[in-house]
């Protein structure tokens, strides 16, 4: 058994965790919307076609902000196609993913769904094939009370009160060569700044996220972020960051390496913060642009097009990755990394939410939880409060692409109002348990509430429709002891843990 010590202090605060860190993403792609959240006639659907079984799982997961309608699709999306009488809505070729889009679900259905699922909308505007004017109209439709063409059109469509969408994305992944209407940093920075200016003129209460680079591996990464942050500096609140990791190889050494990706994620976050702060420096301003990590997850299959026989069909099975325990461990460590950057990372959207690279899967007969559902749920349930600085003293290892990977990853969240302390720990060690000690004399009037764990003998274990409870959360209070202000815990090999203390 290895030994580890976690050091933390209730006065050493990183920042309050923004609740929108527990966000997700719903794109018109594959079976995410159709069959995922909306399926008229399905036995779990309400009279408007909303799948209530999915909505219940979204609530259980504790999802906050949901980004919509894309993703790559937003760059050719006509929002007007998805509002008004359904029989008049056009069927379109959705070119980004080569689906057939009948627009039977659109902006207003999404707003209805956010109420049922207890989430808040994060809308994206099309800066690929469209631009400033379209964004103005959509904002007017969503947020203006009435007496103008688009606000009255919303009323005519049955929505008397404005939707009051507070959070908006200025396009999607615009430096990705795959993006419809892909631009260079100067072109995008200019159109994003123009769009942002007028959107804030129309509704100064909104917050805006501009597109940072679509990924660390793109040649534009870094330079793009600095240019866009600088061009849009006056108008934006956030710069986006996107990250997907995969483990397409299957040896245990690949797993050890895969589990080290949180280190790369951490370094990417530092780089994007640096780009934002560079913009503050050259604008000689105390303003800080924060990060919206509005797409992050594990992805197995390449982001390719649909198989040829599924092209131009509605809701084909598309990147429906099945996640195992090691994926849940990486998702967990990525989450801990974001919590440890709570001062600058304010929004996080696990990509995506249902069926497409998702924690929730559906068939006509069921909805079930993938492994990655659990770390998300635990972070949302126990990760609200103030993130505390924490230092883990433990053994480290090297892998193919990383050096000095600590076996244990951690995050500590103190919720003063609820008198609750949550210690999150992932053990990346595939062979040995760890004995963890934490000096918590500052909390000695607290008691152990629960030690939650996600683990399985087989790190490749998955949940399926036939076996949905193969990898599930367990309460194992016997793994922790809290006496005289000292916490000692067994952190099992390859496990996700949440140790909750309460007064």
Applying CB under 6 A, the residues found at the interface with ligand AHR are 27, 70-72, 172-173, 295, 303, 351-352
We find the least distance from the C-beta atom of residue 210 to ligand AHR, in angstroms, to be 14
**Strand 405-406 to strand 396-397: parallel, antiparallel, or no bridges (unpaired)?**
antiparallel
Of 26 and 275, nearer to ligand AHR (C-beta) is 26
Q: Which is nearer to ligand AHR, 69 or 162 (CB)?
A: 69
Q: What's the closest the beta carbon of residue 352 comes to ligand AHR, in angstroms?
A: 5
Among the listed residues 35, 80, 101, 173, the single catalytic one is 173
Catalytic annotation on 478?
A: no
Decide whether 72 or 271 has the Cβ nearer to ligand AHR: 72
- Residue 34: Cβ within 10 Å count: 22
**Per annotation, catalytic residue among 101, 140, 295, 492:** 295
Taking the complex as a whole, how short is the minimal distance between the CB of residue 27 and ligand AHR, in angstroms? Answer: 5
Q: Closest CB to ligand AHR belongs to which residue?
A: 71
Q: How far is the CB of 351 from ligand AHR (least distance, A)?
A: 4
Our CB check for ligand AHR shows the closer of 141 and 296 to be 296
Nearer to ligand AHR, 173 or 237 (CB): 173
406 and 259 Cβ atoms separated by less than 8 Å: no
Per-residue DSSP letter, 19? G
What is the DSSP code (8-state) at residue 465?
Answer: S
Q: Residue 245 and residue 259: Cα distance in Å, rounded?
A: 10
Taking the CB of residue 56, how many other CB atoms lie within 10 A of it? 16
C-alpha–C-alpha distance, residues 53 and 44, integer Å: 6
Verify cis geometry, omega within 30 degrees of 0, for the bond prior to 69: yes
The strand ranges marked E within 117-233 are 120-125, 167-170, 207-210
Comparison of 80 and 175: residue with beta carbon closer to ligand AHR:
175
Could you give the CA distance from residue 137 to residue 152 in angstroms, rounded to a whole number? 12
In whole angstroms, how close is the CB of 385 to ligand AHR at the nearest point?
Answer: 29
Q: Is 140 known to be catalytic?
A: no
Q: What is the bridge-based pairing of β-strands 23-25 and 65-68?
A: parallel
Nearest approach in angstroms of CB 169 to ligand AHR is 10
Dump strand ranges (E) for 332-433: 345-351, 360-362, 367-369, 386-393, 396-397, 405-406, 408-415, 420-427
3-state secondary structure of 148: coil
Which residues are known to be catalytic?
173, 295
């Amino acid at each position: 058994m290895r030994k580890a010590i976690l050091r933390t202090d209730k006065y050493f605060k990183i920042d309050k965790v923004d609740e929108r860190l527990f966000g997700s993403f719903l794109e018109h792609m594959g079976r995410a919307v159709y069959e995922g959240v909306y399926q008229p006639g399905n036995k779990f659907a309400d009279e408007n076609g909303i799948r209530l079984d999915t909505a219940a799982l979204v609530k259980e997961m504790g999802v906050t902000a949901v980004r919509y309608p894309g993703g790559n699709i937003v760059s050719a999306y006509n929002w007007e196609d998805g509002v008004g009488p359904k029989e008049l809505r056009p069927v379109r070729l959705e070119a980004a993913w080569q689906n057939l889009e009948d627009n039977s679900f659109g902006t207003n259905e999404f707003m209805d769904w956010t109420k049922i699922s207890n989430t808040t909308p994060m809308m994206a505007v099309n800066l690929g094939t469209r631009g400033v004017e379209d964004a103005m109209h959509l904002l007017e439709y969503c947020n203006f009370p009435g007496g103008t063409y688009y606000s009255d059109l919303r009323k005519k469509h049955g929505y008397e009160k404005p939707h009051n969408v507070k959070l908006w994305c200025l396009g999607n992944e615009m430096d990705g060569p795959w993006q419809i209407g892909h631009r260079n940093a100067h072109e995008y920075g200019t159109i994003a700044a123009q769009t942002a200016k007028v959107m804030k003129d129309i509704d100064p209460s909104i917050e805006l996220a501009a597109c940072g680079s679509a990924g660390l591996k793109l040649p534009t990464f870094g330079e793009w972020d600095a240019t866009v942050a600088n061009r849009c500096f006056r108008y934006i609140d956030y710069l986006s960051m996107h990250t997907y990791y995969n483990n397409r190889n299957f040896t245990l050494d690949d797993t050890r390496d895969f589990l080290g990706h949180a280190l790369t994620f951490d370094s990417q976050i530092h780089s994007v913060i640096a780009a934002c702060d560079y913009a503050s420096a050259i604008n000689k301003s105390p303003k800080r642009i924060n990060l919206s990590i509005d797409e992050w997850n594990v992805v197995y299959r390449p982001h390719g097009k649909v198989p040829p026989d599924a092209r131009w069909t509605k809701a084909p099975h598309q990147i429906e990755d099945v996640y195992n325990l090691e994926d849940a461990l990486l998702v967990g460590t990525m989450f801990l990394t974001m919590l440890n950057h709570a001062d600058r990372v304010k929004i996080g959207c696990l990509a995506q939410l249902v069926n497409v690279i998702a924690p929730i899967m559906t068939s006509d007969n069921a909805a079930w939880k993938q492994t990655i559902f659990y770390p998300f749920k635990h972070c949302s349930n126990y990760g609200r409060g103030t993130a505390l600085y924490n230092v883990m003293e433990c053994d480290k290892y090297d892998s193919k692409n990383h050096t000095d990977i600590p076996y244990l990853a951690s995050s500590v969240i103190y919720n003063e109002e609820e008198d609750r302390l949550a210690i999150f720990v992932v053990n990346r060690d595939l062979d040995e348990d760890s004995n963890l000690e934490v000096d918590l004399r500052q909390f000695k009037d607290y008691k152990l509430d629960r030690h939650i764990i996600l683990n399985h003998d087989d790190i490749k274990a998955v949940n399926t429709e036939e076996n949905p409870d193969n990898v599930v959360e367990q309460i194992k209070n016997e793994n922790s002891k809290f006496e005289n202000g000292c916490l000692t815990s067994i952190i099992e090999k390859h496990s996700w843990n949440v140790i909750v203390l309460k007064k």
